[in-house]
Amino acid sequence: MINYPFNITNFKEKTNKKPDSHKNRGLSLEKLINDTNKFYIFNEKALIYKKPTPIHVVKTNKENIITEAYFEKPSTTDYNGLYKGKYLDFEAKETKSKTSFPLNNLNSMQIKHLNKVDEMGGIAFIIVSFTSLNRYFLYFIKDLKNYLKSNKKSIPLNEFIEHGHELEISIYPKLDYLKVIDQLF
Amino acid sequence: MINYPFNITNFKEKTNKKPDSHKNRGLSLEKLINDTNKFYIFNEKALIYKKPTPIHVVKTNKENIITEAYFEKPSTTDYNGLYKGKYLDFEAKETKSKTSFPLNNLNSMQIKHLNKVDEMGGIAFIIVSFTSLNRYFLYFIKDLKNYLKSNKKSIPLNEFIEHGHELEISIYPKLDYLKVIDQLF
């Protein structure tokens, strides 16, 4: 059987929703970005990977299976890589809120890291998904830095609309965030 | 108590060896590189981190402690980061051999990944430690690529001496591999 990118029969069986052009709705931001990165790698456009989750291993058994381990707090970001020779680094976060992005979603070490990347000539940003609105924004760390001066606890949607870059969902690649980088660099 | 970088009293108590100027001998390559990277980060010279080991988590308990997980084969390298705006990527390997570096130390996905980094304008290399000789070499992926054409199963020490870049051990930073990059870029 040919694997069509979108199998409408299965889709109808599995859901009661009408199939529409927004079939990527509901996919987690991580899945959207990972699929996009695979597309970039396959097409030799960029080499961007998600870093493994940091885990502190305490015990392994004779077969080298881990039997006790702990999740660690990441000190850097989830994604980094290479685009046009440059270093690129970002964090991706979802929020269910329809009005603002709570800043406690980002830990202070991650913000510090992204600031350092920016200061040292890398490309640093966050990608925020407003899951209830199906809206996605790329927001550069320079803008985040400015916004943090206001000492607020969340970033309103309007700030992303004004100073961020809205990302469109499509088929290939799913979330073409490098388009924003192309426009600016 | 002041923490001297090298506490001679403790050293004497713990070992029977004479303290000498080569006190970093015997430190694992990973430790040397991690310490060097910390030095670079602290001095705002570069942002280079070791990626966490990829682990596939199968079970966690109620307290979110991992109770079953497996080590995964890495598809990329151990280290990547940012230096002077550029993307830098490398793998570090030790060998006990005094004469050659066995190529089965590197997996084919890692070699493929480093080749892609190089082709896409990043800085890609390996760092090899001949532990029995206390000699360390930075070897660019371009040279590795040439060498692999010969279809040999190991790289002789002489190849590293001729086409690689020997790294000196010092106090701060311990293994100044960016010195090589500075000379060439």
A75-96, pLDDT tens digit by residue?
899 999 999 999 999 999 999 9
Q: Which residue reads 């490398």 in tokens?
A: B90
In sign, the C-alpha dihedral spanning A151, A154, A158, A161 is positive
How much is the pLDDT for B170?
92
Contact A24, A34 (CB under 8 A): no
Question: Bigger pLDDT: A107 or B12?
Answer: A107
Closest-CA distance of chain B to residue A149, Å: 23
Question: Bigger pLDDT: B3 or A169?
Answer: A169
* Inter-chain CB proximity B117 and A47 less than 8 Å: yes
B contacts of A52 (beta carbons < 8 Å): 51-55, 72
Is B98 in a helix, a strand, or coil? coil
Average pLDDT, chain A: 86
- Dump pLDDT digits (tens) for A26-58: 579 999 999 999 999 999 999 999 999 899 999
User: Does A117 score more than 70 pLDDT?
Assistant: yes
How much is the pLDDT for B86?
93
Interchain contact B80–A (C-beta under 8 A): yes
**Portion of chain B with pLDDT greater than 90, in percent:** 74
Q: How far apart are the C-alpha atoms of A45 and A2, rounded to whole Å?
A: 27
- Dump pLDDT digits (tens) for B155-175: 999 999 999 999 999 988 999
Q: Tell me how far CA of residue A162 lies from CA of A96, A138, A156, in angstroms.
A: 20, 12, 10
Going by pLDDT thresholds of 50, 70 and 90, the confidence category of residue A8 is very low
**Portion of chain A with pLDDT greater than 70, in percent:** 86
User: B42 to chain A: nearest residue by CA?
Assistant: A116
Interchain contact A109–B (C-beta under 8 A): no
Reported ipTM: 0.80
Spell out where chain B has E strands.
47-50, 55-60, 66-71, 79-83, 86-95, 100-102, 123-130, 135-140, 154-156, 165-167
The alpha carbon torsion through A65, A66, A68, A69 (nearest 10 deg) reads -170
Closest-CA distance of chain A to residue B53, Å: 7
B contacts of A113 (beta carbons < 8 Å): 47
How much is the pLDDT for B185?
73
DSSP structural state of residue B133 = T
| Of the listed ranges A16-20, A82-86, A144-148, the one predicted with least confidence | A16-20
Beta strands A86-95 and A123-130: pairing type? parallel
